């Protein structure tokens, strides 16, 4: 009887939270539009990643306001923000923190004190992550996967919510260290940030060379963001949508029974189980942000490229033929329809 009585209350509470998210999204978008020109798709995918409790990798050329976007979002959400500029000489301790020897002025007794690194923030911008060696890149792995950091023999939790947005420049190759597949797989979405349109670029030039000053207002705090992340997990998914998500991930594997000929021709390794998980959870977040309390297949299809593009390893044949990951995903979507 108690469970039956509490079920409607939970549903009413979820409905109220969903309405709160819808109102918050409208305010977030309105404020970001006042300082970021265009990039609507990028902003939406960033919000989907955040409320899915994931991390994102943004690939785009310099000057597209990647840093401004995530720092502004952290202010609107009243979250602690930190930025790490990845360079070849960056050490793991520069990310995680380290123990410093200190002395008590009165007793002269010495002791070690842990000084937290920039990873101990709610929103962490890992700028140009592919400019640092793999050893330093790996310093983020435990935090991204387990929401905790082991340093100097002790394991410390990261603040929650915890969100990593990494950026990498697609046009520079010298002095870079490509991210290994295992680390790429831990990014929920890989977001492609493209050049603005001509009209958008005119607005950017005019607005950034004037005296415009925008004051951002806080919309959600950390506790509310965590509650909404929990709500995303409770969104129902019909069997058709979950089957589509699993089918898309499995169809990218060349050794899968019934794999398409173009997959066998171009793919070395297909997407793993995390791809299906990301498609389903991301579809839940997209549905909620769209004002719906249930997932549809279009939610899964809309996230296919950002979920799959960094989880598919193409072979030399694909490279020789000029095939890109997005080209392959488009063919997978066409085959699934």
- What does the pLDDT average to over 90-97? 86
Summarize the confidence of residues 226-230 as an average pLDDT: 90
Q: How confident is the model at residue 182 (pLDDT cuts 50, 70, 90)?
A: confident
Q: Tell me how far apart the alpha carbons of residues 169 and 184 are, in angstroms, rounded to a whole number.
A: 15
According to the model, what pLDDT value does residue 1 have?
38
31 and 167 assigned to the same domain: yes
Cβ pair 69, 42 in contact under 8 A: yes
Residue 327: pLDDT band by 50, 70, 90 thresholds? very high
CB atoms within 10 A of CB 282: 28
Q: How confident is the model at residue 266 (pLDDT cuts 50, 70, 90)?
A: very high
In a domain, 50, yes or no: yes
Tell me how far apart the alpha carbons of residues 145 and 76 are, in angstroms, rounded to a whole number.
25
Query: Which structure tokens are listed for 268?
Result: 């070395």
Q: How far apart are CA 6 and CA 211, in angstroms?
A: 54
Distance CA(283)–CA(10), nearest Å, equals 22
Asked if residue 168 and residue 187 are part of one domain, the reply reads yes
With respect to residue 202, please indicate whether it lies within any of the assigned structural domains.
no
Q: Determine the average pLDDT of the residues in 255-264.
A: 88
DSSP secondary structure code for residue 73 in this structure: H
pTM of full prediction above 0.75: yes
Residue 329: predicted pLDDT: 92
What is the domain count for the chain?
Answer: 2
Both 131 and 180 in a single domain? yes
Considering the chain, what is the average pLDDT of its residues? Answer: 84
In a domain, 211, yes or no: no
Mean pLDDT over 61-78 rounds to 79
Specify the DSSP class assigned to residue 270: -
Tell me what pLDDT residue 9 has.
Answer: 42
Distance CA 157, CA 51 (A): 19
Within 13 Å of residue 87, how many CA atoms lie on the same side as its CB?
Answer: 6
Which CATH number fits the domain that encloses residue 97? 3.40.50.300
The whole-number average pLDDT for the span 162-176 is 75
Q: Which domain holds residue 332?
A: 235-337
């Amino acid at each position: 009887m108690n469970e039956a009585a509490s079920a409607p209350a939970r549903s009413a509470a979820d409905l109220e939270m969903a309405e709160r998210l819808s109102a918050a999204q409208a305010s977030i978008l309105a404020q970001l539009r006042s300082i970021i020109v265009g990039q609507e798709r990028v902003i939406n995918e960033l919000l989907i990643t955040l409320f899915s409790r994931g991390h994102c990798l943004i690939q785009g050329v310099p000057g597209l306001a990647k840093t401004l976007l995530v720092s502004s979002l952290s202010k609107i959400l009243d979250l602690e923000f930190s930025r790490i500029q990845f360079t070849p000489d960056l050490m793991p301790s520069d990310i995680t923190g380290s123990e410093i020897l200190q002395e008590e002025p009165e007793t002269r007794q010495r002791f070690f004190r842990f000084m937290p690194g920039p990873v101990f923030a709610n929103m962490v911008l890992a700028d140009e992550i592919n400019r640092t060696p793999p050893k330093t890149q790996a310093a983020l792995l435990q935090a991204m996967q387990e929401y905790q950091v082991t340093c100097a023999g002790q394991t410390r939790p990261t603040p929650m919510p915890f969100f990593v947005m990494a950026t990498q420049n697609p046009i520079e190759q010298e002095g870079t260290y490509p991210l290994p597949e295992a680390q790429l797989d831990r990014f929920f979405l890989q977001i492609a940030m493209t050049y603005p349109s001509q009209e958008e670029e005119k607005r950017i030039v005019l607005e950034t060379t004037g005296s415009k000053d925008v004051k951002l207002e806080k919309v959600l705090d950390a506790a509310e963001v965590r509650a909404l992340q929990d709500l995303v997990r409770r969104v129902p998914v019909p069997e058709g949508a979950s089957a589509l998500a699993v089918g898309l991930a499995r169809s990218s594997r060349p050794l899968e029974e019934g794999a398409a000929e173009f997959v066998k021709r171009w793919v070395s390794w297909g997407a793993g189980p995390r791809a299906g998980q990301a498609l389903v959870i991301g579809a839940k977040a997209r549905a909620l942000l769209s004002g719906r309390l249930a997932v549809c297949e279009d939610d899964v299809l809309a996230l296919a490229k950002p979920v799959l593009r960094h989880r598919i390893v193409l072979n030399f044949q694909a490279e020789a033929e000029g095939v890109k990951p997005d080209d392959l995903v488009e063919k997978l979507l066409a085959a699934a329809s």
